[in-house]
Amino acid sequence: MAEAMSSFWGPVTSAEWCEKNNVYSSYIAEFFNTVSNIPGILLALIGLINALRQRFEKRFSILHISNMILAIGSMLYHATLQRMQQQGDETPMVWEMLLYFYILYSPDWHYRSTMPTFLFLYGAAFAIVHALIRFEIGFKVHYLILCLLCVPRMYKYYIYTKDASAKRLAKLYLATITMGSLWWLFDCLFCSNISQWYFNPEGHALWHILMGFNSYFANTFLMFWRAQQLGWNPKVAHFMGFFPYVTIQKPKTQ
């Protein structure tokens, strides 16, 4: 791809996406792919504040923080287009999926210490291997497998949820990941055509925005379900009538 101005970070050493480099700044290679992570950071911050304010389990605070770390890593990657920053984006993606796996499956896991220990070691091993070996297709396949492993338990939680508002969260989760994935594929498969258009729809940037909302909806749905498991009488409230979040009422003994 042609660059509008020279990059402060030097030659590109990472994978590139379908956006012209350094059009608006020598410090930001892919402008829209960088700033499109901001909504994800803000949404994760809202989720973190709600989790702390209502004293949810620490796993949810860590989950929201991991969403913010992932979005910041993505910003650094798309701003610099350097291999190290790409690893700083991709490795947290895997760590985040391992955390989702833990939150989804740990309530029914009889040997409580084995799962976090295994997931920690797996995440550490992946980080080391990923730092030493560059495998772009392999990474995508690996990440897709981790995502698919979470689907059965998400579906189980959905069908056992009676609350209509909570079910709507799950539907929003499905809608955003579907739309985001379609934009991601569109950006990848038709880049040669898009590059010749007068207007670039910035499919990868739209993927970032939609996945920021996707993570928020997923986290909120999981917070509702976990609170229901613990008998905390969860309800889905809506800020200004449309923005969903979970409220709980713990028993006085807790």
Which residues make up each annotated binding site for Zn(2+)? Answer: 78, 204, 208
C-alpha–C-alpha distance, residues 38 and 41, integer Å: 5
C-alpha–C-alpha distance, residues 137 and 202, integer Å: 22
Task: Let me know: does 15 contact 25? Beta carbons within 8 Å.
Answer: no
Q: How far is CA 170 from CA 63, 68, 154, in A?
A: 17, 21, 8
- Tokens matching residue 218: 């997923």
Task: Let me know: does 214 contact 174? Beta carbons within 8 Å.
Answer: no
Can you say which residues are annotated as belonging to the binding site for Ca(2+)?
Answer: 17, 19, 21, 30
DSSP reduced 3-state for 32: helix
- Tokens matching residue 5: 């101005």
Can you say which residues are annotated as belonging to the binding site?
Answer: 17, 19, 21, 30, 78, 204, 208
C-alpha–C-alpha distance, residues 135 and 146, integer Å: 16
